[in-house]
Amino acid sequence: MTEFIHALINYRFLQYALLAGVLASISCGITGTYVVIKRITFLGGGIAHTVLGGVGLAYYLGINPYWGAFASAITAAVIIGLVTLKADQQEDTVIGALWAVGMATGIIFMHLKPGYNNDLMTYLFGNILLVSRQELVLLFWLTLLIVAVVLVFYRQFLVVCFDEEYSRIRGVPVDIIYILLLVLIALTIVVLIRIVGLILVIALLTMPAAIASLFTRTPSQMMLWSIIVGMVVTTTGTAIAYTPDLPVGATIIVLCGILYLVAIGIKHAFNVGQRKKR
């Protein structure tokens, strides 16, 4: 740990990494809460994995992969949203198909680009230590955008998640609000890709919110605690992984998983205690 603190003081890349973790925790704490309460984890997974297609295409065309990730995440969110709201097809089948086709497209473009593409691998598995100043600025603006949109539409998102039919009766534009929510989830996924990679992104999107949901009674409390849990796991995970040179993204997710199990255990013990009191 001393080595990590020493490095943190001296190395800018580590400071950027922790800042990126904090920004990612804010985004995933907020949108992850909606993913958990609306029970759309699979849908989030679909968006996340479709991103590989966009990243691969951008690489192939020589564009910044972030733009590819950004475009494909938003396209996937809109398609999945429309399918969920309008189409007769079973939505899980369509999401599964998009998931697989997105990844397959990414793999094809990786194959077409000559040579081994190490940087592309960081999008698959993430590496918070490679976050550049430019990426940090992008993460900041994306996080600010997510916070601002959720602040404005907080009640509408919540009511649509709780009761779509009632929202429609009350004149809430349910389809637009639902797709906007999915677009925010897509933006969060773009933010998180650099941290844990798109393979593990869904875990960081949902586990902090799931942990928070065990001990909170309102979505705003859940968001706050989810952000705190996210900050703890990204910071601690980076610190744990630093000295033995473990993959940071994977370490963060394993730590998050352990915390989730411990939280479930505590909640269970608390419930048993309450029942005995009665």
Partner 1 sequence: MTTPVISLEHIYFRYSDQDALKDISLEVFPADYLAVIGPNGGGKTTLLKLILGLITPTKGSISVMGTSPAKGRNHIGYVPQYGNYSRSFPLRVKDVVMSGCIQGKSFFPWHSKEIHKKAEANMNLVKILPLAEKSFSELSGGQKQRTLIARALITDPEIILLDEPTASVDSEVERDVYELLKELNQTKTILLVSHDIGFVSQYVNRVMCLNVASCTHPISELKTGMNVHYEGHLQPIHHHCKL
Footprint of partner 1 (CB under 8 A):
37, 39, 151-156, 158-159, 161-163, 165-173, 213, 216-222
Q: Report the nearest approach of partner 1 to the CB of residue 86 (Å).
A: 14
Closer CB to partner 1, residue 119 or residue 163? 163
Q: Report the nearest approach of partner 1 to the CB of residue 180 (Å).
A: 13
* Residue found under tokens 């001296």: 10
Closer CB to partner 1, residue 91 or residue 164? 164
Q: Report the nearest approach of partner 1 to the CB of residue 139 (Å).
A: 24
* Residue found under tokens 């580590």: 14
Q: Report the nearest approach of partner 1 to the CB of residue 202 (Å).
A: 19
Closer CB to partner 1, residue 71 or residue 158? 158
Q: Report the nearest approach of partner 1 to the CB of residue 152 (Å).
A: 5
Closer CB to partner 1, residue 63 or residue 148? 148
Q: How far is CA 114 from CA 56, 111, 180, in A?
A: 12, 7, 37
Closer CB to partner 1, residue 67 or residue 153? 153
Q: Report the nearest approach of partner 1 to the CB of residue 38 (Å).
A: 9
Closer CB to partner 1, residue 12 or residue 275? 275
Closer CB to partner 1, residue 37 or residue 136? 37
Q: Report the nearest approach of partner 1 to the CB of residue 34 (Å).
A: 11
**177, 179, 41, 65: which is closest to 117 by C-alpha?**
65
Q: Report the nearest approach of partner 1 to the CB of residue 41 (Å).
A: 13
Closer CB to partner 1, residue 11 or residue 215? 215
SS3 for the chain, per residue? CHHHHHHHHHCHHHHHHHHHHHHHHHHHHHHHHHHHHHCCHHHHHHHHHHHHHHHHHHHHHCCCHHHHHHHHHHHHHHHHHHHHHHCCCCHHHHHHHHHHHHHHHHHHHHHHCCCCCHHHHHHHHCCHHHCCHHHHHHHHHHHHHHHHHHHHHHHHHHHHHHCHHHHHHCCCCHHHHHHHHHHHHHHHHHHHHHHHHHHHHHHHHHHHHHHHHCCCCCHHHHHHHHHHHHHHHHHHHHHHHHCCCCCHHHHHHHHHHHHHHHHHHHHHHHHHHHHHHC
Query: First vs last Cα of the chain: how many Å apart?
Result: 45
